[in-house]
Every structure is written in structure tokens, then in C-alpha cells.
Amino acid sequence: MYKQIFMVDVTPSTKLVTMIGGFLAPWIGLFYGPNRLIPIILLVAVTAMDWITGIAAAKKDKTYSSEYGIRQGVPRTMFLLALPVIANLFDQMFVLPGLLFYAITLGLIYHTWQSLTANAYRAGWGKWIPQAVVKLIESELRAKMERATKRGAELTESTDPTEPTERKDS
């Protein structure tokens, strides 16, 4: 009579994810505005990738410190996630159709993308990053390398963004 479109196994983990999503979705709508779930998911995903690549880069140059990540990284991430909330409030106050929200959110996504790309390069994953992209993130990469050097980084190989990276196609 009818064709089943979705086949979903209901397991404890899918129940948990559904409960978390059901709890968070209305709050995201309340704080960030209606129909803005996709930009916020994108911001959270890029931020998570930035954390992952940052940890990999710090472990590679031996500057990893959980104190640095907890004391500085978590408050910084909370601040970055709060900025679109404030932009949404300004949009509501000035009766704008999300202009400030989208400007702030897209700016944060772009800046975080630069950071995660520079972290990936520092982590030794540069052979997978196109040289044109490396040129776009040169200033971010230099700043991260200087900060790592100040923290006592052990740079074992050249991570100069102006030097061409050796590509090994697998």
C-alpha cells in the first residue's frame, strides 16, 4: 500500500541523539533566531575541526598543554559562539532581517576555517592543502608558528608557507 522511505534502527544511541537534538533545537532557535540552524551547525563543525587540528599541531610540535586548551580555548570558544547571539539581538532591536547575524556568523566561520587550515598545515597535513589555499592563510600560519615557537615548539621540519610543499599522491 505504501513504500517505506526511511529505515531507521531505533537503538539507545539514536534515542539519545534524538533527545539531545529535541532539547537543543528550540534553544538554538531562541538564541540564534528562527531558521538559522544550518549556519550554527556549520560554525560548531568548523570550530570542532579547529580544535582537532589545533591539538594535532600542538602534539606534533610538542607544545600541547591541556591547561592552555581548557583555560584559554574553552572560554574563547564560548565567546565565539555567543557573538552570533548578540548579533541576533541587534538584528531584532533594529528590525533587520538577520543582516548582523549572518555577517558575524560567516565572518567567524571564515576566520575559523583559516585557523583550522593553518593548524592542519602545522600538523603535517600540508600535502593535502592546495598551494593557493596556503597562500591565502600565510599570515595566520606565520602567527601560529610564532606563537608555537614562543611556547617552546620543536619544529622538526620546515613549515614555511612560502616554500612549496612536496606532494605525494597516494
Annotated domain spans of the chain: 36-150
CA atoms within 13 A on the CB side of 89: 5
Q: What is the DSSP string of 102-162?
A: HHHHHHHHHHHHHHHHHHHIIIIIGGGS-HHHHHHTHHHHHHHHHHHHHTT----S---TT
* Residue 167, pLDDT score: 45
* Residue 141, pLDDT score: 93
On whether the CB atoms of residues 113 and 107 are closer than 8 A, the answer is no
Cell of 58: 600542538
Specify the higher pLDDT residue, 1 or 87: 87
Percentage of residues of the chain with pLDDT beyond 70: 85
Q: What is the pLDDT of residues 117-170, one digit of tens each?
A: 999 999 999 999 999 999 999 999 999 889 888 877 665 544 555 554 444 444
Specify the higher pLDDT residue, 111 or 159: 111
Site of grid cell 532591536: 93
On whether the CB atoms of residues 32 and 88 are closer than 8 A, the answer is yes
Give the closest residue to 80 by CA, choosing from 43, 33, 113: 43
